[in-house]
Structure 1
Amino acid sequence: MKTILAYGDSLTWGSDAATGGRHGFDDRWPNVLAAALGGKARVFADGLRGRTTAYDEFLADCDRNGARTLPTSLYMHAPVDLIILMLGANDMKPHIAGTAVAAMQGMRRLISIAKNHNSGLVDETRPDILIVAPPPLCETADPEFAAMFAGGIPESRMLASLYADLADEQGVGFFDASSVAETTPIDGVHMDAANTRAIGKALVPVATVMLGL
């Protein structure tokens, strides 16, 4: 059985803007993907709210720097056949990075870590890598989120193009989540259950091809 690591932020964790809680287990996109793949692959979801690609978040009480915690996750779930990296939305916060180019540079760092990671297992092979551009931010009437991501909407719309070019440069897979999903205006950042399910469904054929299932 193949192993997939879904490494992301609150969009992977399953934040529900409508309730302020978490989407049900069966609605979160990594679990939708796992269910559709059946017994062909297991999917480990490592989603941390507020996680960035490679930048520190000094307001947090946990380590949200994705580049710093990725090696631990790879060790924990080894051997990994496919790693899905869906990060970048939190990089849009002006106090963290604030630009799509910065997110792309952080994603490049994550790819480098994944390519060069060695868990010390016998006959270990490097995982295939799929980068997913999250759906762009949208307008919201929520004053806190609007301020937290000030200027982030136009920058977030650039992520898909930058990530696609990065994927070509690095020889990894790419998927644009905005082709099947969108964020909710409730907070402008997260997705409702239908949209997070849509990402899981859309990734099924991509993962199937990349893993040779």
Structure 2
Amino acid sequence: MKHILAFGDSLTWGFIAGTFERHPFDVRWPNVLAAGLGGKARVIEEGHNGRTTVFDDPTTFDDRNGAKALPMLLSSHTPLDLVIIMLGTNDIKFANRCRAFDASMGMTRLVQIVQTFPYLEWAPKPQVLVVAPPALVPTTDEWFNDLWGHAIAESKLFGRHYARVAEEMGVHFFDAGTVATADKTDGGHLDAANTKAIGTALVPVVKRILEL
């Protein structure tokens, strides 16, 4: 059996737009992916609400910096055959770094961490699949509009920047924005159909990567 780490933020955790609740287990995209792989792979859900690629968030008590969390997870979940990384939305919600390019620099660092981590001698070096998150959309929710309404245009650039990173780093790429659209309830999170759509779309991608 293959082992896959799904490393992401609230879109991986399964945050239901406008409710602060969580989608059921079988709806969340990592588990939809696992079901589609028909028992040939275990998909480990590792979604953390608010997680960034490499940036600290001084507004919260929990450490949301993905670069700090990833090495520990690579160790604790050894062996891994594939690491899927879908992050970036929380990078651009801060006005002082509101660029998809900044998020792509963080994504580059995360790929480097996976590629250079000192794995145990018997463990394989996992492949990497970089996933661009769906773009933000306009919302009438005042709080969420204040949170990331200024970043909508930048969020539409994730696909272009992340595809470049994947090519430069020699890893795989998928644009989740081609199959999923954020829920206008809060402008950033996904309804059940769209989070399931990501998992479904990744099935053939992962099968190809892992030769399943």
What range describes the TM-score normalised by the shorter chain of this pair? over 0.9
User: Which ranges of structure 1 fall in alignment gaps of 5 or more residues?
Assistant: none
Q: Paired residue for 2:114?
A: 114
| Native 8 Å contact 2:54 2:65 kept in 1 | yes
Q: Aligned ranges for residues 28-177 of structure 1 at < 5 Å?
A: 28-95=28-95, 97-119=97-119, 121-177=120-176
Give distance in 1, aligned partners of 2:50 and 2:203. 26
TM-score, with structure 1 as normaliser: 0.97
Q: Which amino acid aligns with 1:192?
A: D
Give distance in 1, aligned partners of 2:96 and 2:43. 29
| Native 8 Å contact 2:136 2:151 kept in 1 | yes
Q: Which amino acid aligns with 1:13?
A: W
Identity among equivalent pairs (%): 51
Give distance in 2, aligned partners of 1:16 and 1:151. 21
Which shifted more, 160-169 or 91-100? Answer: 91-100
TM-score, with structure 2 as normaliser: 0.97
Aligned CA-pair RMSD: 1.0
State the secondary structure of the residue aligned to 1:168: helix
| Native 8 Å contact 1:137 1:156 kept in 2 | yes
User: Which ranges of structure 2 fall in alignment gaps of 5 or more residues?
Assistant: none
Q: Paired residue for 1:6?
A: 6
Q: Does 1:206 align with 2:205?
A: yes
Q: Does 1:178 align with 2:177?
A: yes
Q: CA deviation at 1:18?
A: 4.2
Q: CA deviation at 1:150?
A: 3.8
Q: Which amino acid aligns with 1:210?
A: I
Give distance in 1, aligned partners of 2:125 and 2:87. 20
Q: CA deviation at 1:95?
A: 4.8
State the secondary structure of the residue aligned to 2:129: strand
| Native 8 Å contact 1:3 1:42 kept in 2 | yes
| Native 8 Å contact 2:80 2:123 kept in 1 | no
Q: CA deviation at 1:181?
A: 0.4
Q: In the TM superposition, what whole-angstrom CA distance separates every residue of 1:19-55 from its partner, at most 9, and x where no partner exists? A: 3200011000000001111221000010000000000
Q: In the TM superposition, what whole-angstrom CA distance separates every residue of 1:110-162 from its partner, at most 9, and x where no partner exists? A: 0000001123x232221000000000000000111111114210000001000
Aligned length: 212
Give distance in 2, aligned partners of 1:152 and 1:49. 18
| Native 8 Å contact 2:4 2:84 kept in 1 | yes
Q: Which amino acid aligns with 1:36?
A: G
Q: Paired residue for 1:24?
A: 24
Give distance in 2, aligned partners of 1:41 and 1:85. 17
State the secondary structure of the residue aligned to 2:91: helix
